[in-house]
């Protein structure tokens, strides 16, 4: 066994959850004495149950509410570049089976056995988000492993976002290997071209998770007018145009995102069918309703309104308001798609909020489909947070 420090679960904790695959140890479940609190964020330790029986090799962060993350069930494992390479090879093998082109999420944190680590691949460039202390501490090692396993020439570290703040990690943006691309990278998905800004865009530059939901929306979009609210770089709108929509209107508050959507339409030769609106989404929907505008398909894909349990009720009210404002913009017999990336709001809660909003918007309809993230975003059954994305599709009759 490794000569590692030990952290122990409290007597009233539930070690069986760890034994059955739950990957986190919360701070209130562990004995946090002076010795444990003095461990460096990202250090490795042996997790023991209250009877001092070893459970797993974990990374420790006394500054986080998640004080321990399970790294390996093998207590003798060495968490080094070879270990990271082995996990990456498994992740890469699955993605190469799923996708013809190297544009996908390569690592989806706990579900790929690399806790708190996100890696998105853009052809010859990888963007990593080390959202756990151990992965931030080993960022250069991980970058070298990514190059060795995938053959990419550049690795960018995007250390921004709420998750790092919860870990007590500072924001940072670094090029760890190679060079940053001088221009946005074109990404082909579902017949559309998306322009991904890897250094200045949201998250890693694109949302690969919506790919299957874009594809389903395409079935509803052909030949009609569609509205893409909270469009980012044109996710649903450009997909609709690729499927033969007569027009797409993209609404987003970010001028940079709207410009990238326009560039994507230009790349596809469909700029004459794209309308872009830089505006607060709620205000834009209210204005469109006043103007009497109606669409065959309306899609709303807002940011996470309920990123935590504390924000759940306010978040559900926001999702309800989105549905209330969007529903009147749908033509009779048209379709409404509502999305949530809030892991704190489960499918039932989100569906109920959406249904209330549709009703408050004076519409009635039926749900025809429920979507989730693509298979490059695998779900760890024991960890609900890995199954965060929900997409509900309704046909509105009245």
Active site residues: 341
Rg (CA), the chain: 22
Rounded to the nearest 10 degrees, how much is the dihedral formed by the CA atoms of 324, 328, 333, 336?
-40
The angle subtended at Cα 290 by Cα 289 and Cα 293, nearest 5°, is 50
Rounded to the nearest 10 degrees, how much is the dihedral formed by the CA atoms of 30, 39, 343, 135?
-150
Q: What 3-state class would DSSP assign to 363?
A: coil
Edge-to-edge strand order for the sheet containing 66-72?
Answer: 6-8, 43-48, 54-60, 66-72, 24-26
Q: How far apart are CA 75 and CA 58, in angstroms?
A: 9
Q: How far apart are CA 396 and CA 380, in angstroms?
A: 34
In DSSP terms, which residues pair with 228 in a beta bridge? Answer: 250, 299
DSSP line for 207-264:
-GGGHHHHHHHHHHHTTSEEEEET-TTTHHHHHHHHTT-SEEEEEES-HHHHHHHHHH
Q: What does the DSSP 8-state code read for residue 315?
A: H
Q: What does the DSSP 8-state code read for residue 205?
A: S
Where would I find the H helices in the chain? 15-19, 34-37, 81-98, 133-137, 139-150, 162-166, 211-221, 235-242, 255-267, 281-290, 312-326, 347-360
Half-sphere exposure of 346 (CA within 13 A, CB side): 3
Task: Give the distance between the most distant pair of CA atoms in the chain.
Answer: 70
Q: How far apart are CA 129 and CA 107, in angstroms?
A: 10
């Amino acid at each position: 066994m490794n000569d590692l420090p030990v952290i122990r679960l409290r007597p009233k904790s539930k070690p069986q959850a760890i034994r059955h695959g739950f990957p986190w140890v919360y701070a209130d479940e562990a004995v946090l004495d002076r010795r444990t609190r003095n461990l460096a964020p990202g250090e490795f330790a042996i997790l023991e149950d209250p009877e001092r029986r070893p459970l797993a090799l974990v990374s420790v962060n006394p500054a986080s509410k998640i004080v321990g993350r399970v790294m390996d069930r093998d207590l003798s494992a060495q968490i080094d570049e070879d270990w990271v390479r082995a996990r990456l090879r498994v992740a890469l093998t699955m993605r190469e089976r799923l996708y013809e082109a190297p544009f996908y999420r390569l690592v989806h944190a706990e579900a790929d056995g690399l806790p708190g680590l996100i890696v998105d691949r853009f052809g010859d460039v990888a963007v990593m988000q080390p959202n756990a202390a151990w992965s931030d501490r080993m960022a250069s090692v991980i970058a070298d492993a990514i190059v060795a396993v995938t053959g990419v020439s550049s690795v960018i570290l995007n250390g921004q976002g709420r998750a790092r703040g919860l870990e007590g990690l500072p924001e940072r943006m670094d090029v760890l290997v190679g060079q940053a691309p001088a221009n946005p990278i074109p990404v082909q998905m579902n017949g559309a071209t998306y322009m991904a800004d890897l250094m200045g865009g949201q998250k890693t530059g694109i949302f690969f998770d919506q790919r299957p939901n874009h594809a389903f929306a395409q079935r509803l979009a052909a030949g009609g007018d569609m509205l893409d609210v909270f469009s980012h770089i044109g996710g649903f709108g450009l997909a609709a145009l690729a499927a033969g929509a007569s027009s797409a209107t993209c609404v987003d508050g970010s001028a940079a995102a709207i410009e990238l959507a326009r560039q994507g339409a230009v790349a596809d030769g469909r700029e004459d069918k794209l309308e872009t609106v830089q505006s607060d989404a709620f205000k834009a929907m209210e204005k469109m309703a006043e103007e009497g505008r109606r669409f065959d398909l309306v899609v709303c894909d807002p940011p996470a309104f309920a990123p935590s349990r504390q924000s759940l009720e306010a978040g559900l009210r926001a999702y309800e308001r989105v549905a209330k404002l969007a529903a009147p913009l749908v033509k009779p017999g048209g379709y409404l798609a509502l999305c949530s990336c809030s892991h704190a709001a489960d499918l039932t809660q989100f569906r109920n909020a959406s249904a209330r909003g549709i009703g408050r918007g004076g519409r009635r309809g039926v749900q025809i489909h429920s979507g989730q993230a693509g298979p490059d975003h695998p779900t760890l059954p024991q960890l609900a947070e890995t199954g965060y994305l929900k997409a509900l599709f309704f046909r509105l009759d009245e």
